[in-house]
Structure 1
Amino acid sequence: MKNTVIPLLGVSCLLLVGCTNSFTKVRDAVNQAPDWYETRRQEIRGEGYPELVEVPTIAPGELPGKTLPASAKRVSALAAQFAETARAELPANGPAEIAAVGDEIRQQFAGLDETSNFLTDAEIAAIRNSFNVPRVTQGLKGQR
């Protein structure tokens, strides 16, 4: 009995010391966490979200539809500003250059024979015969 009590007490003390040490390390790690860590913890817990019974109130200046004319004016002002810049101008010979590249590619393919296949019939038959292994094909036919 004495032989088992002493090791059990020793193991218990070691576990206690190890656990307190690990709790200290975890606490230090939490205290040194990055800025986003607390926000993520609240998301996981489900905190900080509005309740379903809460009805949001809309400020008088932000009523739907009242801000649309202002945003339309802003979009038209930005479009006019963009149209005035040099970046908005189309290249002088852009479509002609694209057509020239297309013609060049067509000329490269013009010399190819359209009726030719990748492999001839003889080459296809040779490939099929190379995969014709009698012990496999005949064995499968004989097992039916």
Structure 2
Amino acid sequence: MKNTAIPLISVCCLLLAACTGSFSKVRTAIDQAPDWYDARRVEIRGEGYPEFIDVPVIAEGATPGQTLQASKSRGAELRAIFADSARAVPPANIAAEIEDLQETVRREFAGFEASSDFLTDEEIAAIRSAFDVPRVTRGLRAASR
């Protein structure tokens, strides 16, 4: 019992001495805190905020909706300016441009040239007809059955 009591008492004394030193360090740090620290501490504690039950009193001449007509007319004026602007006009062939871009990207990923103008449908049909040899195609069809 003696062997464990002495180390426990000494550890407790060391912890007590360390805590008193750290408390004084914390107190000096709080005293030397910047100006915003007190405001932040009040905010964290939740002090200084109005209660939900408190109903604000509206001052005379500051009724809600008083400026709605002015903001409505200003909004109409801004919409008219925007509609008259050249930048507000949508592009004419936006769907065709998107389809062209889609086809270009698809062809690039497939490993073909980006432009699809290098062979027309007629040229493709002519090439296929040149390789359409009846005895070869008949032999391939019979072998696949």
Normalised to the residue count of structure 2, the TM-score between the two structures is 0.47
Return the structure number with greater relative CO, CA threshold 8 A, min gap 6.
Answer: 2
